[in-house]
């Protein structure tokens, strides 16, 4: 008995050369019709796989307060020690980051949270807590500190928190 090729059974199938070029990325529900892919969609995709428990706890705390009060009510600024920890890993403050930078940072923090190095794991959790504190401050100020459209990394962080939290607003 001879096993034939797929072309023997389905002669009408054309080769890959005849197929039209289809885009690899689909249009996101968050994107314009002009955009092929939104950076905020990347934040949503980051929230789909391998989220550490520490990230979920931080997101739940943020979203719970947001759900109860509508917005964070505490305007706590980060300390110099927090700024030093961000500087140690060459991270900018949240108000000076882009969506792409935050998405890359979230991906990195997820990897670090699963590291065998306890110092790196603790620093990862502390950095995410700092980011949550910065986001609370920006939301409490109604994002008035942000003066440039480019620096909107806070939107990606908030989207990430919304997607991983059980307290949806």
Q: What is the pLDDT of residues 33-74, one digit of tens each?
A: 444 345 656 655 666 668 888 999 999 988 888 888 776 666
pLDDT over 60 at 116, yes or no: yes
What is the model's pTM?
0.69
Residues 6+ apart with CB under 8 A from 114: 50, 52, 121
Q: Domain residue spans in the chain?
A: 38-164
What is d(CA 125, CA 117) in angstroms, rounded to the nearest whole number? 13
pLDDT band for position 129 (cuts 50, 70, 90) = very high
CA-based Rg of the chain, rounded to a whole angstrom?
21
């Amino acid at each position: 008995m001879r096993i034939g090729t797929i072309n023997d059974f389905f002669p009408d199938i054309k080769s890959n050369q005849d197929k039209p070029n289809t885009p690899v990325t689909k249009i996101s529900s968050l994107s314009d019709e002009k955009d092929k892919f939104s950076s905020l969609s990347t934040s949503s995709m980051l929230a789909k796989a391998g989220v550490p428990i520490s990230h979920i706890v931080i997101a739940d705390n943020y979203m719970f307060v947001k759900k109860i009060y509508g917005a964070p009510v505490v305007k706590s600024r980060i300390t110099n020690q927090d700024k030093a920890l961000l500087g140690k890993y060459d991270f900018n403050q949240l108000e000076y980051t882009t969506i792409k930078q935050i998405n890359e940072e979230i991906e990195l923090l997820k990897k670090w949270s699963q590291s065998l190095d306890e110092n790196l794991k603790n620093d990862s959790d502390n950095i995410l807590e700092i980011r949550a504190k910065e986001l609370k401050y920006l939301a409490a100020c109604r994002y008035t500190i942000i003066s440039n459209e480019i620096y909107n990394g806070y939107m990606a962080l908030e989207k990430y928190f919304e997607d991983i939290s059980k307290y949806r607003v």
